[in-house]
Structure 1
Amino acid sequence: MALLHRAELHPTKLELLASWLPGRPWYEGPAAADVERVAAFRFDDPAGAVGVETMLVRAGAGPVHQVPLTYRDAPLDGADDWLIGTTEHSVLGRRWVYDGCGDPVYVAALTEVIYSGGVQADEYFEVDGKVEHREPNMLVTGSGVADADIPATGALHHVTDEDNSTAVVTDSVRLTVLRRLPAGNPVAGAILTGTWDGQETPVTLAYATPR
């Protein structure tokens, strides 16, 4: 379960992405366009310490881009290359925003959802002391089964941006996170697929192969 706050962010997530996206090798779009949110979903951090959200965004008339994000209350050691920026959260204070592909919490969550056949986290807002459910605007599903053995991802050995994906090599799996969506032909095997408004046919978002 993801418990969210009705809060203000300065700068906003989209403002951070507007300055960060043009520097990515997989980005397609104008260098100085406003970034709009298309859809989003969240995973749970079992420890409850890190926010894990994947946003689908578009800049100008460009394609839809997938950007996993993690939100932390302190810098992540050794992850400077994956820091998107910092933002001031009106409830939680300063937050360090990372590209999730470089954050072991996102990588472990993605691996678990893929192999267990999991789905996105339920999202709730706390309003006047009451918890209210927020309807999802994106649905994701892993291809595995509930009683599967989940590989322990362990350390991140290599995280590499490629033309239309980011490859993450861990102790036990190699994950590929697709960046421009939809990304060609469907992928077989251990995958995460998703649908959202305007994309009713499931598309592959990420896939995993054992090491």
Structure 2
Amino acid sequence: MALLYRAELKPSKLELVAAWLPGRPWFEGTAAPVLDRVAAYRFDDPAGEVGIETLLVRFGDGPIHQVPLTYRGAPLDGGDGWLIGTMEHGVLGRRWVYDALGDPVYLAALAGAFAGVPQAEEFFEVDGRLERRAPSMAITGSGAVPEGGEATVVRRLGDGAASAGAALTGTWDGQPDPVLLAHAE
């Protein structure tokens, strides 16, 4: 379960990602003034310490890029090369935002998703009770457990990536056919 806050973020997630994304070697397209959020999904951290969210984003009508993020209340040991930036969260304070591929908490959650662990349900606390937020996309794991294999997250969706092993696919509004999000051979 992901407990979400209606809090101001400075800078916002999209502002951080918009500044970082065009410098990645796997980025394709043209950076524009506005980065649009297409959809997103979350995983649970069993310890409840790390926020795990994957954004599907695009500049204009360019390709959709998948950006897995982790949010931490303190720097990740050895994670300097994966740091996207920091933001101030109106409720939680300073958050360190990482490219999740460098975060062991994300990698463990991804392995679980391949095996069929569902995405995190999202809730807001409103007047002392929890209200569920409808997901903006659905993910499905193939049910296979990747043992000893290396997982690959598809950074630019729709590039014809395929998998014969464990797979994670997703659908969202306007994309009813499953798209490969990650795989392990």
TM-score, normalisation: structure 2: 0.95
Matched with 1:158 is none
Within 5 Å, give how 1:151-190 maps onto structure 2: 151=147, 172-190=148-166
* Counterpart check, 1:35 vs 2:11: no
Distance 1:140 1:100 in 2: 17
TM-score, normalisation: structure 1: 0.84
* Counterpart check, 1:196 vs 2:175: no
Matched with 2:183 is 207
Distance 2:101 2:112 in 1: 15
Once the two structures are TM-superposed, the CA of residue 185 in structure 1 deviates from its matched residue by: 4.7
Distance 1:31 1:185 in 2: 23
Q: CA RMSD in A?
A: 1.4
Partner SS state of residue 150, structure 2: strand
Matched with 1:3 is 3
The answer as to whether partners of 2:154 and 2:161 remain within 8 angstroms in 1 is: no
Matched with 1:103 is 103
Which structure is higher in strand share?
1
Structure 1 unaligned regions, length at least 5: 152-171
Q: Deviations over 1:36-91 (max 9, x none)?
A: 10000000000000000000000122110000000000000111111000000000
Partner SS state of residue 70, structure 2: strand
User: Percent same amino acid among aligned pairs?
Assistant: 66
Structure 2 unaligned regions, length at least 5: none
Once the two structures are TM-superposed, the CA of residue 118 in structure 1 deviates from its matched residue by: 2.3
The answer as to whether partners of 1:124 and 1:134 remain within 8 angstroms in 2 is: yes
